[in-house]
Structure 1
Amino acid sequence: MSFDYDLFVIGGGSGGVRAARLAAAEAGARVGLAEEYRMGGTCVIRGCVPKKLMVFASGYPRAFDDARAYGWAVEAGGFDWTAFRARLDAELDRLESVYRSNLSRAGVEVFDTRAALEDAHKVRLSTGEVKTAKHILIATGGAPFVPEFDGAEHVITSNEVFKLDALPKKMLIVGGGYIACEFACILNGLGVEMTQYYRGAQILRGFDEEARGHIAGAMRDDGIDLRVGTTVQRIDRVEDGLWVKSTDGHDAIYDKVMYATGRKPNTAGLGLEEAGVRLARSGAVEVDAYSQTSVPSIYAVGDVTDRVNLTPVAIREGAAFVETVFKANPTRPDHRQVPGAVFTQPELGAVGLTEEEARAQGAIEVYATAFRPMQSGFAGREDRVLMKLIVCADTRKVLGCHIVADHAGEMIQLAGVAIKMGATKEDFDRTVAVHPTMAEELVTMKAPARTG
C-alpha cells in the first residue's frame, strides 16, 4: 500500500516535534504534523517557559530587599504587568518561530489544523482532507482539569493565567500540586494577596514528606494563606468579584479563582477508540514499553500517555520512538530516576526515591541538614535550606536526593547525574566540597540523621 507519509504526528508539542524532526532529518522519513493551536505545546506556550519567566519576575522584590541589606540604595517601583506580558508574548512568538523553522528545515510538512484518526493509517484534518501514513504518532499532551461544582464556569486555569489583562489584587488558587504551589508563590511575589486551598493534609503529594513540610512552612512565612483540608463548595459572581464558600467556613470574595487540580490527557474527539486504540480509565493512551498502542501502526508519547508527565521525558520518548520505528534500534525510554524541580520560593529539587518510598523497600540511612544560607542570612532573612540524601544501608547507593533551596533545580540536575550512575554515599564523601556554597552540604554530611 502506498502512503502519503511514513509518519504523521498529531500534536506539535515537545515530544511530537522532536519525533517529527528526527524522523525526517535523521531517518529520511516523509513526515506530516498537525497542530490545532500553537507550535511548542503546553511547555513553550502555556507552561514551563512562561511560568519560569514569571518565576524570575516574582523574585525581584526579595532581591531588592536583599540589595538594600548589602548596602545598595535601591527603590522598587510598582510591577508593570502589561509591560511584562508584552515582552512575554514576544518571547513566546520567537520560540514558536524557532520550532516552526526547525520543522521546516527538517522537511516536515505542517498543518495548522485539528486532526483525528479515521483508522489505523488515516488521519482526517478539520479542513476535510484525509492523509494516509504508515505510522501515526499521538502527541496531544494534556489539559487542566476542573471538577464539576456550582460556579465552576467562573474559574480560570493555568492556561488563562498568562493572558490576564491585569493582575488581581486578591486571588484564590485551588490545588496542592506543583502547578498550584508555583503559581501561588509567583503571584504572591508579584504583589497579589494569595490564598491557597488544598483538600489533602499536605501540599505536593508524591514528593518527600520532609521537603513538602519545608515548602509549606516557607510559603506561609512568605504571606500565602495556605489552607489544607479545605476545598470549594460553590462560587457565585457578586458585585465585588467572586464569592467563594469553602468547606472550612473561610468564605471570602476574590478577584480571581484559579483551579490547578490536576491535568487530563487530551484524547477526546481524536477517534482513538473507534480506531481500536485502548485508553485507560483516565483517558490516557495505553502504550507498551516502546510507546506502541494496541494498534501496531499507532504510537503515543508525552503527557497523553500519563507516564512521567515532564517535557524532557516527552522529548526522550519521541527520540526513542524514532530509534525504534525508523532506525531499527528498539529503544525503551528510561523513566527511572528522573530529576525534577518545583519552582516555588524556595525551589524544590528531587531525584530518586523519597524517604517514605525507600523505607518501604528496605533498610536505609537518611542524611539530612537544614541551615540558614549565607546570602539570605546576611540579609536578615530567616530562610532555611534543606539538603537530604537517602542511602541504601546494604549497597550504600544513594537512592534519592531532595533539596529545598534557591536554585535547587540547578543543583538537582547535577546530583541526578551521580545518582543515575549509581553513586554511593562514599562517592559523595570522596568528593571535595566547593566552599562556600549551599551544595557543599551534599558531600559533607557524615553521620546519618536517622536510620530505618
Structure 2
Amino acid sequence: MAEYDYDLFTIGAGSGGVRASRVAAAHGARVAVAEEFRVGGTCVIRGCVPKKMLVYGAHFAEDLEDARHFGWDVGQPKFDWIKLRDNVLGDVDRLNGLYTQTLDNNKVEIFHERAVISGPHEITLASGEKKTAKHILIATGARPMVPTCPGHEHGITSNEAFHLDAIPKRVLIAGAGYIANEFAGIFNQFGAKVTLMNRSDQLLRGYDEALRDRLLQISLIKGIEFRFNAAFEKVEKNKDGSLTVHMSNHEPLEVDCLLFATGRVPNIEGLGLGDVGVNLNEKGAIEVDENSRTSVESIYAVGDVTDRVQLTPVAIREGQAFADSVFGGKPTTVDYSCIPSAVFSHPPIAAVGLTEAEATAQYGSVKVYTSDFRSMKNVVAHRNERSLYKMVCEAQTERVLGIHMIGAEAPEIMQAAAVAVKAGLTKADFDATVAIHPTMSEELVLLK
C-alpha cells in the first residue's frame, strides 16, 4: 500500500501548475491538482491571452483609418464592444476546456475547490477531505494590488476589465507598468478619454529610457493624458455614477471608470504556510532556492507566488524544471538571464538583455547602435509615428548585451533576435546577415 495518496499534489492550475503536473504525470507520478477558480490561471483566464485579443481589436481602429490611404472605402466603421467582449470570453472558455482536457489526458486528478496545506505532506480541501502527498507544489500565482485609500472599492482591476458592459467614456488608469500602458492603449483606441496617473514621473520602470520616452511621446499624440507624481487621496462616487478622484499635486478628476494597475501581490493568504514553516521573503512571496524548494523539504513553489520573474513562460519553465528534477531524474534549473519581454502597448515594446544604463553600470563602456525610422506603412498612411530600434554592445568585443524596440510587431521580431542575444552573438554577426527587404525587421542588421 502506498505511503501517500499522491506523489505530487499541486495547489493552483495556472501555467506553472499545469505544466508541472502534466510533466510529473508523464514521468509516472500520481498527481492531483486543486483549483478554486478555473483551470488555466491568470494568463489564460484574465490576463495576457484575453488582453492580447483586446489589443488585436484595438489595432483595427487605426488600421481601418489607414486603409483609406491604401485605396479601401471602408465607409463609417462602427465598433461593437459587446461582440468583441463575448467573443474573447468565449475563447477563454475554450482554452479553459483545453487546459482541463490536458490534465485529464495525463490522468491528473482535478479537485475544483480550494486547498490549504495542513502538514508537510497533507492537504485539506474546502470540503473537509484530507489528502496526502510525498511532494506539494504551490502555484497559486498573484492578483492585482489595490491601493488602500478612502473609496478604493469604487475602482476595478484588470480582472473586471474583461467583463465591462460598455466602454467607459472617461477612464483613469492608476499605474505606469505594462498592464497600465496596455489598457491605456486599448481603451484609447476604443474611443475612451484616457488619463494615466502614477506616483512617480516614469513609465515602465526597468525598460530602456529611450523606449519609455518614445512611448510617452506617441501616447500624448494619440490623446492619452498623464498625471505624474500623483498619489491617491480619496475616491468619491457621484450621484450620476461617475467618480471623482482626488490626488496629490493635481486637481481632482471626474471619470466614469477607475482602473487600478498598480502591481500584483502573491496569493499566499490562508494557505497554511506559517503553520507548516514555509518562509516568505520581504515582499510577502514564498522564498525558494534554485530548485524551487521552500524552507520545508517536501514543499515547492513556482510562478508568480515566488515573485522571481512574473512572466507566464518563466512559470512554465519553472514547472517543467521542477517536474524533470523531482520526477524525471533530470536535475534542471531555470536560467533567469536574458529573458525577453514585451509590452503590448500602442505601439508595442519588446526588449531582451541589458538596457543602456544597466550595461554602462556593469561594463563601464558600451557601444550603442540605433535606427529611428518611419515604417513604409506609416508613410503611405500619412502617419508620423516613428519606430526606434536600439542595440547595446560591449565596447571591446561588440558582443550584443541588449536589444530594445518600439514599433509595430516589435514582440514578433524580438523572439528571433532574443535567440541571437542569448547565444552571445556580436554586432558583426548581425552586420554579416543579409537583410530581408523591405521589412521593419531588416533594421536590426542595418543599425548604425
Q: TM-score, normalised by structure 2?
A: 0.98
CA distance in 1, matches of 2:308, 2:250: 37
| Aligned position for 1:93 | 93
Q: Are 2:346 and 1:345 aligned?
A: yes
Q: 1:375 to 1:118 in 2, by over 3 A?
A: same
Residue type at the aligned position of 2:280: L
CA distance in 1, matches of 2:235, 2:83: 31
CA distance in 1, matches of 2:185, 2:438: 28
Displacement, 1:262? 0.4
* 1:67-113 superposed Cα distances (whole Å, 9 cap, x missing partner): 00111111243311111111111101100000010100000000000
| Aligned position for 2:417 | 415
Displacement, 1:239? 1.8
SS in 1 for 2:180: helix
Identity over the aligned pairs, expressed in percent? 51
Note if contact 1:181-1:344 (Cα within 8 Å) is conserved in structure 2. Answer: yes
| Aligned position for 1:442 | 444
CA distance in 1, matches of 2:391, 2:366: 10
Residue type at the aligned position of 1:429: D
| Aligned position for 1:155 | 155
Displacement, 1:139? 0.3
CA distance in 2, matches of 1:65, 1:154: 35
Q: 1:73-88 to 2 correspondence within 5 Å? A: 73-88=73-88
CA distance in 1, matches of 2:78, 2:275: 54
Q: CA RMSD in A?
A: 1.0
| Aligned position for 2:294 | 293
**Matched residues, number:** 445
Residue type at the aligned position of 2:251: H
For residue 378 of structure 2, the aligned residue among 367, 370, 376 is: 376
CA distance in 1, matches of 2:426, 2:144: 39
Residue type at the aligned position of 1:250: E
Displacement, 1:249? 2.5
- Please identify, of 55-64 and 437-446, the stretch whose mean Cα deviation from structure 2 is larger: 437-446
CA distance in 2, matches of 1:76, 1:116: 55
Note if contact 2:232-2:246 (Cα within 8 Å) is conserved in structure 1. Answer: yes
- Please identify, of 111-120 and 391-400, the stretch whose mean Cα deviation from structure 2 is larger: 391-400
Note if contact 1:64-1:75 (Cα within 8 Å) is conserved in structure 2. Answer: no
Residue type at the aligned position of 2:399: K
SS in 2 for 1:150: coil
| Aligned position for 1:312 | 313
| Aligned position for 2:428 | 426
Note if contact 2:23-2:324 (Cα within 8 Å) is conserved in structure 1. Answer: no
Displacement, 1:48? 0.4
In structure 1, the gaps of 5 or more residues are: 447-452
- Please identify, of 221-230 and 308-317, the stretch whose mean Cα deviation from structure 2 is larger: 221-230
Residue type at the aligned position of 1:304: V
In structure 2, the gaps of 5 or more residues are: none
CA distance in 2, matches of 1:345, 1:249: 26
Displaced runs of 4 or more, over 6 A = none
- Please identify, of 68-77 and 348-357, the stretch whose mean Cα deviation from structure 2 is larger: 68-77
Q: 1:167-206 to 2 correspondence within 5 Å? A: 167-206=167-206
| Aligned position for 1:105 | 105
| Aligned position for 1:230 | 230
Note if contact 1:174-1:231 (Cα within 8 Å) is conserved in structure 2. Answer: no
| Aligned position for 1:404 | 406
Note if contact 1:64-1:76 (Cα within 8 Å) is conserved in structure 2. Answer: no
Note if contact 1:198-1:231 (Cα within 8 Å) is conserved in structure 2. Answer: yes
- Please identify, of 209-218 and 238-247, the stretch whose mean Cα deviation from structure 2 is larger: 238-247
| Aligned position for 2:65 | 65
CA distance in 1, matches of 2:373, 2:249: 34
| Aligned position for 1:450 | none
CA distance in 2, matches of 1:224, 1:248: 19
SS in 2 for 1:273: helix
Residue type at the aligned position of 1:140: T
| Aligned position for 2:213 | 213
Displacement, 1:61? 1.1
